[in-house]
Each structure stands twice: as C-alpha cells, then as structure tokens.
Amino acid sequence: MDGLRYLLERGCVMTKTDLCGDMRIDVLPNGPYKVSGGVPLVIVSIVRNEQQEAIAWKQEEVLPQKDIYMLCRCGVSHKKPYCDGSHVAAGFDGTEIANKESYDQAAERIHGSDITLYDRVDFCIGAEFCDRFGGIWGLTQVTTENCGIEDPEQAQQLVQQAHAAATEQALLCPSGRLVMHMTGEGGQDKIQEVDFDQPSIALIEDPVYQTSAAIWVRGGIPVYSADGERYEVRNRLTLCRCGASHNKPFCDGQHYKANFDDTLLPHGGADE
C-alpha cells in the first residue's frame, strides 16, 4: 500500500495532528458533516482477489479541493458525496450514540508471544481485510508451542510469517478497529501504525460487493460531535454516510445491508 510504513515507537507520528492545521470535521445536528480547513478528498476502492478476500487499497480519483464542504450523512442526497439538504425532507435522525470511551480503555486485547492485538469491534465496517489466512485473531496467537512444527527454526519462521500477516491486516483496517502492538526490547510497547502521506478523507467503494462504504478519515483529523465535544483523535477512523449505522457518527457496516450506492464509481465486479 503506497504511503504505508511501520511506525514502531509510541507517539512517533501516531497521528499527524501537526499537519492538520485548521482541518476539522463537525457533525451537524441531524445533518451533514461540515469539513473545513481544506481537507483533501479522494475516492478509494477495496481490492479483492479471486476468492473475494480484501487484500489492498486502490486510489480511484482525487476530487477538487475545497476549503469548506458538506458531506452527506443521511445517504439520500442527490449530489453525493455532498449534501443537498435532502436530510430535511427525509426527516433524518442523526443522533450520535457512539461510545466516547477512549480506544485503549474499551479495546479487547488478544495476546501473542511478542505481539498484542487491540480490537474495538464496535468500530468494524465489514471491509474484511482481517479474514485472510484464517483471520487476524488466530494469526496473532500462533506460537512455536502451538504451531504444530517440531523443528525449532521452522517453527519460529512460521510464527514470524503469521505475525507479519496479522500486522499487515491490522494496518489495512480503515476504521482503526484493529491496532497491533509489539513487545520490544526490555518489554517496551511498540505500536504498529499507518504513516499517511497527508491528512485526508477517502470515500470507500467496494466494487466486488457493489457497495459504497464509509467515509475514511485519515491522519488524525479531529471530529467534533453536534454538541461541540471532540471525539478521541485517532489516526484512522470511519464515519457513516449511508445513514443506517447503529453507532453514529461512526460506521458499523450497515451500508452492506442497505446496498448503499453513491454512484461515484461503476460497480461492475472484481478488479481485473
């Protein structure tokens, strides 16, 4: 994935808040997201293999940059991805119900021999990057003792491969539901995070499933609730834009059940 590197030290570009400047996203009451500060806006798609497993991201288009713009949150705008006021006639209820507990406090820990997977299931958007090779949870827990290989050198090699695959899957997760930690020398906790080239917003498309997915907020852009309170700043998070999430303002994957299509991209099957 272009622009993706492993960041091994806690606090070492965990988010690029220093580059965000005046960038911010405000959730308007029962209305759109107000995006200000000249946030770049792009369209990206999920790349899937012949088994329909999610394996990579592909940037499709860079939209014209604006200092301020309104992104549709109700899912019924006729000018997607932008708001056209349709939420008023639709009677959209955009009440925010997401848990504001910090990520670290609420995350489940799945422990491996030298890695620990942090998992916030309420942030899952159903992108499925975590499902390959039996799933990130099993890969994280592979050890030399349980891998089924007697030769110590081969067993250690398998563990390294499993942990590398688990780490890659965590980094591909757009919502930041999954964050991998490594145990460094002296027991130091080292976070594996994505180093985005710049803070930006990406509109996610899933062509194979013919569905438009979440608004992907990248690089630590702060999001403010309708009451003015700032949500926890995170390097990766995803906002609902189909209007059906049960975890507003965050996406919870309801776009798949709703067959949400913003018509920004033709949805014609697997990537060639």
Q: How confident is the model at residue 183 (pLDDT cuts 50, 70, 90)?
A: confident
- Reported as a pLDDT band with limits 50, 70 and 90, residue 8 is very low
Q: What's the pLDDT tens digit per position in 22-46? A: 999 999 999 999 999 999 999 999 9
**Within-domain flag for 268:** no
Q: Residues 220, 246: one domain?
A: yes
Question: Which segment of 69-73, 149-153, 264-268 scores lowest on mean pLDDT?
Answer: 264-268
Do 206 and 92 share a structural domain? yes
Residue 55 domain flag? yes
> What total number of domains does the chain contain?
2
Residues 186 and 240 in one domain: no
Q: Are residues 149 and 176 in the same domain?
A: yes
Residue 2 has pLDDT above 60, yes or no: no
- For residue 92, tell me if it sits in a domain: yes
Q: Are residues 83 and 119 in the same domain?
A: no
Residue 161: what pLDDT? 96
Same domain, 81 and 155: no
Q: Are residues 27 and 73 in the same domain?
A: yes
Same domain, 175 and 118: yes
Are residues 27 and 86 both part of a single domain? Answer: yes
Give the domain-ending residue among 141, 165, 192.
192
Residue 154 lies in a domain: yes
Confidence of residue 13 (pLDDT cuts 50, 70, 90): very low
Last residue of a domain, one of 145, 161, 192: 192
Lowest mean pLDDT among 8-17, 185-194, 250-259: 8-17
Of 135, 157, 192, which residue constitutes the final position of a domain? 192
| Domain housing 120 | 112-192
**For the whole model, what pTM was predicted?**
0.90
Does 138 have pLDDT greater than 70? Answer: yes
Stretch 16-22: mean pLDDT: 74
| Same domain as 207, residue 241 | yes
Whether residue 172 sits in one domain with residue 42: no
Is residue 68 assigned to a domain?
A: yes
| Mean pLDDT, residues 159-186 taken together | 94
Are 26 and 81 within one domain?
Answer: yes
Is 1 domain-assigned? no
pLDDT in the model for residue 266: 77
Give domain status of residue 127, yes or no.
Answer: yes
208 in any annotated domain? yes
Give the tens place of pLDDT for each residue, 81-123. 999 999 999 999 999 999 999 999 999 999 999 999 999 999 9
Q: What is the pLDDT of residue 267?
A: 60
Task: Name residues whose C-beta falls within 8 Å of residue 144's C-beta, 6 or more positions apart in sequence.
Answer: 113, 152, 155, 156, 159
